[in-house]
Structures are given as structure tokens and as C-alpha cells.
Amino acid sequence: MKRLISLFLCFVLITGVLSSCGQSKGNDRSNGSGIKVMLTLSQADTFRNTLVEAAQKAAKENGVQLDVKQAESSLENQVKQVKDAVKEKYDVILCALVDADAALEIESLAGDIPIIFFNNCPDESRLESGKYVYVGSDEKVAGKYQAEYILDKFASAQEINVAIMKGPASQSAAQSRTSAFKDTLNASDKKINYVFEDRAEWDRTKAKDLFEIFSKTGQKCDVAVGNNDDMALGVIDACKEKGIEGITVLGIDATADGCTAIESGDMAFTVYQSASGQGDMVIQTAVALAKGNDMSKLSGVTKDQKYVWVPFEKVDSSNVKDYE
């Protein structure tokens, strides 16, 4: 009996010591008011500007103090901005990384301040639930939507010849979009021939050049897919120049040019990445993190709470007007 009691006491002691280590500080703020958030943007462009505007609007609605800094494609600028954020005691940093590989550096500079990455996704190993989170759209879904459109359109065909214009090899978005696209197609019962697959580096001209070279090989092509709208437009340019017809062209991003191409019938399909949705979501996530790391109530949060996905939207001739 005595032995049992002493054993029990040992366990109580050990568990007590272990459990007392894991206490975390709570944050008692009820809504967004009083939260100081800094946003550092890699480079301004149409998409990112839309995103920042949506974030500013959401910040105003939630009573969050949002300061936007431009890194102008300079990692040095971005690093300096993060250091300033620490000095000025911001609650949360919103960061569109200049370089995805710099995530670790940014995180160590920020110290205890949680960081919400957006627009450029760092490696998964750099993310941590409740501290380092990525808000964006799941690139795989974009590639999947393209593949689904093709499978739907060529439902009766046994064999589909596909050309792919990819983004830079180093960019995760390009890789994810391509692999999800190919995986979805490969999973179908159709014979998929990848007649062309090369990197056009997001570039319209490069895509045009590559497609022209491809056309020389005389291979049959049913579908040309770009990892973004620009590259898809490059394919369209090449087709127009060479007088090639009957190729279904798909892009991603629903840019103004892309939408115009859809309206004119040159492009069949694109996927809209909601800049305003992401801008809204970064603020929501910032509030959740500042309040006490509870992200479970955010919509689109993954199980491991490292990602918050803002859904993509399919765009074709039927709804293109909504995105112009």
C-alpha cells in the first residue's frame, strides 16, 4: 500500500513538473482594437495593390492599426522594416516575402512577434501553428481547376495532347500548379500526351517564343496551359502569328488581359486568385493571432493550422464580366 502511495506521489510530482512547463501567456483583447500590425510588401503590382487595399479596409473595420511598408524588391529593405517593427513593438507582422528562402531570417529578426506570410509562400518547415502562418490560395487547387475544365471539355476524347508553360523552377506556385494539374489529368482514364512542357518564367514573350519553336516540331496540340495568364497569352500570340487554330488555352490569375482574352474567345478559362479575399483574411488572421493564437475559427484554416486558404474562383466566358 505504502509503495502504491509513494508511486502515485512520484507520478503526481513528475506530471506536475512537466505540465507546469507548458503554460502560455493569454491575451485578453476582445476585438481588433488596439492591435498594431505592420505590412511589408515585396513589390507593388496590380494584384498586391488590390490585396493591400482590401487589408486596409478590413483593418479599418476591425479597428486594427495597419502600417504598410514597401520593400521595393529589396530584401535589405524588408529586413530593415522587420527590425523597425520589433523596435516599435508591433503585435503582428504581415509579410509578402521578397525571397521565400529568407523566411528563417525574417522570423529570427521578428523574435516573439508572430508573422503572417502572404503572396509568397515559404517552405512548410518554416511555418508554425499560431506563430508563422501563410495566408494565400492553395496553388494546387488552381492547377486542379484547369485540369477539371479540360477533362470536362474533352469528355468525349480518348487522347488529349497538352502543352504546358511553366513558371520558374524555383517558384513553389509554378511547381504546385503544374504538379496538381498533371496529377489530376493523369488520374483520369484518358491518355494524356504532354507534347510540350517548358519554363517560360511567367513571361508572355518567352511563352510566345517557346510555343513557336514547339509549333515547328509539327506535333498535334489540343490544349495549351499556362501557369499564369501572361504565358497563356503568349501562346495565343504565337498561335495568332503562326495562324494556328483550335487550341484551347487556359491561364491562371484572371488578369485584365486574361479576362479580355476570355471575352474575345481567345482564352477559354482562367482561375481568379482573390486579392481582396486574401487582404481581408490576413487581417482576420492577424487579429486571431494577436488575441491568443486561436485560429480554429477562421474559414479555410488547415488541420495543422499553418495555412489559411482563400478559395480560388473559376472564370470562363460565362462569368468573366464579374472579374473585369
Phi-psi region of 24 (alpha: psi -120 to 50; beta: other; left: phi over 0): beta
- Asked if residue 132 binds other proteins (CB under 8 A), the reply is no
Residue 282: in which H helix or E strand, if any? Answer: helix 275-292
- Give the separation between CA 212 and CA 254, rounded to whole angstroms: 24
What residues numbered 195-254 form the site for other proteins, per CB under 8 A? 195-199, 210, 213-214, 216-219
- Give the separation between CA 320 and CA 324, rounded to whole angstroms: 7
List the one residue out of 201, 288, 300, 196 whose CA is nearest residue 249.
196
DSSP one-letter string for 243-274: T----EEE-SS--HHHHHHHHHTS--EEEEE-
The C-alpha cell at 101 is 528562402
Quick one: which of 23, 24, 125, 156 contacts other proteins (CB under 8 A)?
125
Q: Which stretch binds other proteins (CB under 8 A): 62-70, 175-183, 244-252, 287-295?
A: 175-183
Cβ at position 292, least distance to other proteins in Å:
26
Cβ at position 207, least distance to other proteins in Å:
11
Classify residue 228 as exposed, middle or buried by CB count within 10 Å of its CB (0-12, 13-18, 19+). Answer: buried
Classify residue 300 as exposed, middle or buried by CB count within 10 Å of its CB (0-12, 13-18, 19+). Answer: middle
Choose between 196 and 269: whose C-beta lies nearer to other proteins: 196
Cβ at position 204, least distance to other proteins in Å:
16
Q: How many residues bind other proteins (CB under 8 A)?
A: 27
Cβ at position 198, least distance to other proteins in Å:
4
Choose between 182 and 291: whose C-beta lies nearer to other proteins: 182
The site map against other proteins for 282-311 (x = CB under 8 A) is ------------------------------
Q: Which stretch binds other proteins (CB under 8 A): 31-39, 92-100, 168-176, 295-303?
A: 168-176
Angle at 180 (CA atoms; ends 296, 191), nearest 5 degrees: 145
Residue 77 DSSP label: H
Cβ at position 217, least distance to other proteins in Å:
5
What residues numbered 1-30 form the site for other proteins, per CB under 8 A? 2-3, 6-7, 10-11, 14
Tell me if residue 181 falls in helix, strand or coil: helix
Choose between 71 and 225: whose C-beta lies nearer to other proteins: 225
Residues that bind other proteins (CB under 8 A): 2-3, 6-7, 10-11, 14, 125, 169-170, 175, 179, 183, 186, 194-199, 210, 213-214, 216-219
